[in-house]
Amino acid sequence: MMLSILFVAVGGFFGAIARFGVSNWIKGKYPSSFPIATLIVNLSGSFLLGLIIGANLAHSLQLLFGTGFMGAFTTFSTFKLESIQLRAEKKWKSLVIYLGITYTIGILFAFIGIRLGTIL
């Protein structure tokens, strides 16, 4: 049990740092009122988590990379907050695009990741 907690904690530590770094890099490179950084992080995270699950890794590696790293790398709470902010600012087009892409492409990327993971 303690080893499982350690795997999740270590993965989460590095996942949070990776999200922070990737998000800041994207925001610096592509400044916009559209939440592109969160979108890219969450879409790539959907694909990578699918890949991890599809690859049927050992339980300890699923805890480290799936639960820990990807759990901290992707950010459902920021996605929800940014959606609420877009609504509050009445940026309806951006809101619909953000929600549509996040949900549809996110699920598609997870599916592709799982399929690819089973092949690898």
pLDDT at 87: 97
Residue type, 40: I
pLDDT at 42: 97
Rounded to the nearest 5°, which phi and psi values hold at 80? -65, -45
| DSSP secondary structure string for all residues of 52-120 | HHHTT--HHHIIIIIIIIIHHHS-HHHHHHHHHHHHHTT-HHHHHHHHHIIIIIHHHHHHHHHHHHHH-
Each domain of the chain, given as residue ranges in start order, spans 2-119
pLDDT tens sequence for the chain (120 residues): 999 999 999 999 999 999 999 999 999 999 999 999 999 999 999 999 999 999 999 999 999 999 999 999 999 999 999 999 999 999 999 999 999 999 999 999 999 999 999 998
Q: Which residues are annotated as a binding site for Na(+)?
A: 71, 74
Instruction: Specify the residue for token string 């592109």.
Output: 36
Q: Which residues are annotated as a binding site?
A: 71, 74
pLDDT at 120: 85
pTM: 0.92
